Structure 1
């Protein structure tokens, strides 16, 4: 009897903590999203009012669109660049371990630290980027990267890619370990050049790693917050705001907890949708095997 109960007793602690720190807050957020609450007085039930107001709130729509810009940037830029560096770092050449460590280095930093570093890099008067452009005689290309509403979101995405590309590289490097070397050698014997070996042999076998990397990048783009908060606070005029940032402003600056919770619910449901697509894809692949 004790042996049968032992596994459940070991699981009881972690499951209790998971319920307290994850499941209950999610449930509570859903409940609060249907209320008007300032965090101090008694919450008042308002039904779907917060959600209806959300989709008439141009700043929320702008934040949602910015999240999709992050998603496109993370998928279109970090995936090819991560795969390129993975293919490069998978080769054996003098100093390859040193180069791999240098490319991986940003992964050791948090987005808060990266945001502070890139705030200095993109500083309009003395930042590295504008100083270099002026030194090259390209004064016209020097921009106020973090204060121009037209380009600020793209500047933030570029800064975030400094960390996201090495992350994609690591995932692809793990995927390359599962590529059947016999298939690659057979392609060499058949006279396939480097591009043909990559396109027809390696890339199809990287499909599982590709699915994981795309899914992780999409989820990371949807939960972007810290680098935005550190570099711009969502400004100027909410032009760089994302859902998490807008939720934080509404809940903790404007004391509209119910409205902030509604934003969190929308973000959660969108993220959950992509997770379910990934899980279903994995289950279908396992069924085929």
Structure 2
């Protein structure tokens, strides 16, 4: 008998396994930073840091040191150590100080109660994609683009007692009746507040409008399905969700109110605070660059303003962060 021929195997032949490359399996290491990269990093970090130290921290530390001295600002050899005398004089016998503090508080309350809510209201309305919304945004934000000195000059023309726009309108209703808006101590602060609020409103509008652009519209739709009106939707959904923007607005408003200077300086006629327009920033300028320089007084006032600003803003931020942690 002949044996049966072997059955051929139909299993496919396997290709030979590829040989691993010499560098296979190794993780790429971190790219080495070259000399050019180090120079670039040093420039973008070092230059702002040096500018911050030279133009912010060194003058602040110098003001703190000079606040304990008496100096006319001419010769360094005339600097005389006086201790706490400047602070005693400010809180005790310096007449314009407390009116200036009162006016800064009025400025803060005015900014919080009128321009800031009005800017938020305008942002919420413009976010609804109205017709010509770009034109409205540009017109409202234009005062913020202008320099504060230009804003002051514009409102100086409006408030001019002889041929100003405001008195011209009043003269049409009551001929011969003119109001000295900037010369009357009972009116000049409120006139300046209106000019500052005109500029501040556009700034708040842009800040809040940027926050609304990042807001999820699905939350509004969900609130509408639950039967909430526009007012309830804004107060209970939109406003709490934009808490980071609200924090920025509060801090910006407080800083603008405490360091208010440019518009008041222009409308007040330069150095020398008019009665009714005393502010801490103007008192600092009067004592440092006025006719009779009192660098010690001015530095002490600057330290007081710095302390008040840090205390107010720091307290608000700490409380806000604690609420977020809870």
* Pairwise same-fold verdict (TM > 0.5): yes
CA distance in structure 2 between the aligned counterparts of 1:3 and 1:282, rounded to whole angstroms: 43
Shift of 1:283: 3.8
Where does the alignment leave 5 or more consecutive residues of structure 1 unmatched? none
Counterpart check, 1:204 vs 2:237 = no
Give the CA deviation at 1:194: 1.9
- Higher gyration radius (CA): 2
**Aligned match of 1:62 in 92, 99, 105?**
99
Q: 1:27 to 1:3 in 2, by over 3 A?
A: farther
RMSD between superposed Cα atoms in Å: 2.3
| 1:208/1:157 CA distance change after superposition, 3 Å | same
The Cα of 1:263 is off from its aligned counterpart by 0.6
* Other-structure match for 2:24: none
Q: Equivalent residue for 2:141?
A: 104
Task: State which of 92, 96, 112 in structure 1 corresponds to 2:129.
Answer: 92
Counterpart position of 1:39: 73
State the match for 1:256 in structure 2.
294
CA distance in 2, matches of 1:199, 1:104: 25
Equivalent runs, 1:1-289 vs 2, <5 Å: 6=38, 9-10=42-43, 11-41=45-75, 42-56=78-92, 57-137=94-174, 142-232=178-268, 233=270, 237-253=274-290, 254-281=292-319, 283-284=321-322, 287-288=325-326
Relative contact order higher in (CA < 8 Å, ≥ 6 apart): 1
- Normalising by structure 2, we get a TM-score of 0.81
Is the contact made by 2:181 and 2:188 (CA closer than 8 Å) also made in structure 1? yes
3-state secondary structure, aligned to 1:55? helix
Aligned partners of 1:178, 1:77: CA distance in 2, in Å?
25
1:161, CA displacement in angstroms?
0.8
Are the counterparts in 2 of residues 234 and 240 from structure 1 also a CA contact under 8 Å? no
Deviation at 1:191, TM superposition (A): 2.2
Q: Structure 2 unaligned runs (5+)?
A: 1-31
TM-score normalised per structure 1: 0.91
Q: Deviation of residue 212 (structure 1)? A: 1.4
Task: Answer whether contact 2:71 2:79 (CA < 8 A) is retained.
Answer: yes
Q: From the two aligned structures, give the one with the greater helix fraction.
A: 1
